[in-house]
């Protein structure tokens, strides 16, 4: 009798349980929550939520001497592939960033920053202890950079899906990026974006990457092939998620004669050119017995040296070393000019006596 009275209540409870939304979480891919004492999150590849499209845009407004601030905009199109409602908590992994904001349409979504993201089945294994010179394509080692894998940063925010619903989420933040100014003529700036956590979403997304620089004239290196669409914009489109994180570096080459930004290599090539031009000018002056040919050439060679030897040794020795090289080249040209004048004069005197 008692069980007969409870039967309607039991049926009601079962129906309510079936109607409750499924719980899941995500990090560019979904998450499981282990026990609190375990302290790590596990990315879930069975979330039944697919990433349809991901567009990442780095916009640079201006460049400081030692910083490169990027305004990063990430557009996610997510689709709930199941017939059940879902409540997700998304964990967006990013390098050091600030001004983090998440929105859906005109509505801002509350995000909580997590300065020490720990996951079981994903980690930022691609630690960059090198930077690529965009001019020469040569990798430069960051000698003072630790090779240990440090924790990534992230932000958590909730999302709720109706059955088979598609959502468009926009994430905005500012990234300061990296800077390399050791042994190079022009400063190299670098940036990193974690693409690989998105592999835990279902499906193969359409991925668009875009870089909008503040000024024309930059040279860019990207580990993912990109096409330059105008003087300040680079783009890449993929029909599936790349298998590695996105890393790019750029510089604005100035006073570079040869295709290298490496200080030692470029300066040696310039000095070699100075020596070759000096020999050619001297040979022409001696051949035509016109000393003014070398004198005029010497002024041009000296100006060439001053312009293209713009950096040597770095701060605080740059002005000293560059000035010393200019002085040595100038004195060398002056000595050559004196010797050439004497040689031409002596040859003329010998011709007269014959």
Instruction: Assess whether pLDDT exceeds 50 at residue 26.
Output: no
DSSP state of 326: H
What number of residues does the chain have?
Answer: 354
Cα–Cα distances in angstroms (integers) from residue 177 to residues 57, 115, 117, 180, 194, in the given order: 14, 17, 19, 10, 13
More confident site: 46 or 182: 182
Q: Is residue 273 included in any domain, yes or no?
A: yes
Confidence of residue 119 (pLDDT cuts 50, 70, 90): low
Q: Same domain for 69 and 155?
A: yes
Mind listing the pLDDT tens digit for each residue in 167-194?
999 999 988 888 898 899 999 999 888 8
Confidence of residue 200 (pLDDT cuts 50, 70, 90): confident
- CA 242 from chain centre, in angstroms, equals 16
Cα–Cα distances in angstroms (integers) from residue 88 to residues 93, 101, 104, 161, 332, in the given order: 16, 17, 14, 8, 73
Q: What are phi and psi of 76, to 5 degrees?
A: -110, 130
User: What is the number of structural domains in the chain?
Assistant: 2
Least confident of 128-137, 145-154, 270-279, 337-346: 145-154
Confidence of residue 229 (pLDDT cuts 50, 70, 90): very high
Mind listing the pLDDT tens digit for each residue in 142-158?
765 444 445 567 788 88
Q: Same domain for 200 and 315?
A: no
Confidence of residue 88 (pLDDT cuts 50, 70, 90): confident
Instruction: Evaluate whether 83 touches 48 at the Cβ level (below 8 Å).
Output: no
Q: Same domain for 297 and 217?
A: no
Q: Which of 17-26, 118-127, 234-243 has the highest mean pLDDT?
A: 234-243
CA atoms within 13 A on the CB side of 350: 7
Measured between alpha carbons, how far is 169 from 104 in angstroms, rounded to an integer?
A: 5
Instruction: Assess whether pLDDT exceeds 90 at residue 43.
Output: no
Instruction: Return the beta strands (E) in the chain as ranges.
Output: 22-26, 31-32, 42-43, 49-59, 70-80, 86-94, 97-104, 107-109, 112-117, 130-132, 139-141, 152-161, 166-175, 178-180, 188-193, 206-212, 219-222, 227-230, 233-238, 246-251
Q: Is residue 129 included in any domain, yes or no?
A: yes
More confident site: 158 or 58: 58
Q: Same domain for 73 and 174?
A: yes
Mind listing the pLDDT tens digit for each residue in 275-330?
999 999 999 999 999 999 999 999 999 999 999 999 998 878 899 999 999 999 99
What's residue 90's pLDDT? 83
Q: Is residue 10 included in any domain, yes or no?
A: no
Least confident of 132-146, 186-200, 223-237: 132-146
Q: What is the pTM of this model?
A: 0.82
Instruction: Evaluate whether 100 touches 221 at the Cβ level (below 8 Å).
Output: no
Q: Same domain for 322 and 345?
A: yes
Confidence of residue 251 (pLDDT cuts 50, 70, 90): very high
Q: Same domain for 239 and 280?
A: no
More confident site: 33 or 243: 243
Q: Name, in order, each residue with C-beta under 8 angstroms of 44's C-beta and a sequence gap of 6 or more.
A: 24, 25, 26, 29, 30, 31, 32, 200
Q: Which of 73-82, 197-206, 271-280 has the highest mean pLDDT?
A: 271-280
Q: Same domain for 75 and 129?
A: yes
Q: Which domain holds residue 76?
A: 23-251
More confident site: 15 or 326: 326
Confidence of residue 33 (pLDDT cuts 50, 70, 90): very low
Confidence of residue 124 (pLDDT cuts 50, 70, 90): low
The torsion of the CA quartet 161, 163, 168, 171, rounded to 10 degrees, works out to 30
Measured between alpha carbons, how far is 91 from 104 in angstroms, rounded to an integer?
A: 16
CA angle, residues 82, 245, 151, in degrees to nearest 5: 90
Q: Same domain for 228 and 292?
A: no
Average pLDDT over residues 124-150: 72
Q: Same domain for 230 and 278?
A: no
Q: Same domain for 313 and 291?
A: yes
CA angle, residues 296, 298, 301, in degrees to nearest 5: 115
Bridge partners of residue 219, in order along the sequence: 251
Domain termination residue (choose one: 196, 223, 251): 251
Q: Is residue 287 included in any domain, yes or no?
A: yes
Alpha-carbon Rg for the chain in angstroms? 32
Helices 263-288/291-308 angle, 10° precision: 170
Measured between alpha carbons, how far is 261 from 258 in angstroms, rounded to an integer?
A: 8
């Amino acid at each position: 009798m008692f069980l007969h009275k409870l039967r309607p209540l039991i049926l009601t409870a079962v129906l309510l349980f079936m109607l409750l939304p499924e719980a899941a979480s995500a990090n560019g891919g979904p998450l499981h929550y282990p026990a609190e004492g375990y302290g790590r999150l596990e990315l879930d590849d069975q979330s039944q939520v697919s990433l349809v499209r991901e567009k990442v845009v780095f916009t640079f407004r201006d460049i400081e001497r030692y910083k490169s601030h990027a305004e990063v905009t990430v557009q996610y199109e997510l689709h709930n592939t199941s017939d059940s409602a879902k409540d997700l908590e998304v964990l967006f992994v990013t390098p050091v960033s600030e001004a983090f904001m998440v929105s859906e349409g005109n509505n801002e979504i509350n995000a909580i920053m997590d300065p020490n993201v720990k996951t079981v089945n994903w980690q930022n294994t691609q630690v960059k202890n090198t930077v690529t010179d965009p001019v020469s394509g040569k990798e430069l080692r960051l000698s003072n950079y630790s090779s240990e894998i440090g924790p990534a940063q992230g932000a958590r925010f909730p999302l709720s899906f109706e059955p088979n619903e598609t959502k468009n989420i926009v994430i905005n933040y500012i990234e300061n990026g990296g800077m390399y100014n050791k042994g190079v003529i022009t400063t190299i700036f670098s940036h990193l974006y974690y693409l690989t956590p998105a592999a835990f979403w279902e499906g193969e997304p359409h991925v668009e990457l875009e870089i909008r620089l503040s000024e024309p004239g930059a040279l860019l290196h990207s580990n993912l092939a990109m096409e330059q669409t105008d003087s300040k914009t680079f783009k890449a489109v993929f029909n599936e998620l790349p298998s590695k994180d996105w890393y790019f570096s750029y510089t604005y080459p100035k006073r570079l004669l040869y295709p290298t930004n490496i200080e030692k290599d470029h300066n040696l090539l310039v000095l070699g050119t100075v020596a070759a031009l000096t020999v050619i000018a001297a040979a022409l002056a001696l051949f035509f017995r016109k000393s003014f040919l070398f004198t005029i050439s010497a002024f041009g060679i000296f100006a060439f040296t001053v312009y293209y030897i713009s950096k040597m040794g770095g701060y605080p020795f740059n002005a000293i070393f560059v000035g010393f090289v200019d002085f040595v080249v100038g004195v060398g040209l002056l000595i050559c000019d004196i010797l050439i004048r004497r040689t031409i004069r002596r040859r003329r005197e010998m011709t007269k006596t014959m």
